[in-house]
């Protein structure tokens, strides 16, 4: 089973700043099968990025994904107040899915 480790656990930034979230895999992940989600309290997660770098429908272009192999990054170019939430990475391989433990993005 591929283990995903996200860092940092908590990221404290101000609106307008740039956020960089990391997701590291214990084994190589096909770039086609790495996704990022945003979750706000009391809500279901929302798909942001699939295939490591493709934005899902309706996702603003301030969100971008990159990476390959074992290292992946979610970047939010200029934080808006609504972006403060928990972010999860997720991978698919050999018919199995795993999530990272999450990064909490909080207002500084």
Other Cβ atoms less than 10 A from the Cβ of 18: the count is 11
Is 98 one of the binding residues for other proteins (CB under 8 A)? yes
Largest CA distance in the chain: 40
Is 99 one of the binding residues for other proteins (CB under 8 A)? yes
CA distance 59 to 45: 13
Q: How is residue 105 written in tokens?
A: 């993005």
For the bound state, the minimum distance from the C-beta of residue 1 to other proteins, rounded and expressed in Å, comes to 8
Other Cβ atoms less than 10 A from the Cβ of 44: the count is 7
Out of 9, 14, 61, 95, which residue is the one contacting other proteins (CB under 8 A)?
A: 95
From 10-18, 20-28, 60-68, 97-105, give the range in contact with other proteins by CB under 8 A. Answer: 97-105
Other Cβ atoms less than 10 A from the Cβ of 30: the count is 13
* Site pattern 29..58 for other proteins (x: CB under 8 A): ---xx-x-x-x----xxxx--xx--x-x--
Binding site for other proteins (CB under 8 A): 1, 32-33, 35, 37, 39, 44-47, 50-51, 54, 56, 88, 90, 92, 95-102
């Amino acid at each position: 089973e591929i283990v995903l480790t996200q860092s940092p656990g908590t990221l404290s930034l101000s609106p307008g700043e740039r956020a960089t979230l990391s997701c590291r895999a214990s084994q190589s992940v096909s770039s086609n099968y790495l996704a990022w989600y945003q979750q706000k309290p009391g809500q279901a997660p929302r798909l942001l990025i699939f295939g490591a770098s493709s934005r899902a429908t309706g996702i603003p272009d301030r969100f971008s994904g990159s990476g390959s192999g074992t290292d992946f990054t979610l970047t939010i170019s200029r934080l808006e107040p609504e972006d403060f939430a928990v972010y999860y990475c997720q991978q698919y391989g050999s018919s199995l899915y795993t999530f990272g433990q999450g990064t909490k993005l909080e207002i500084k």
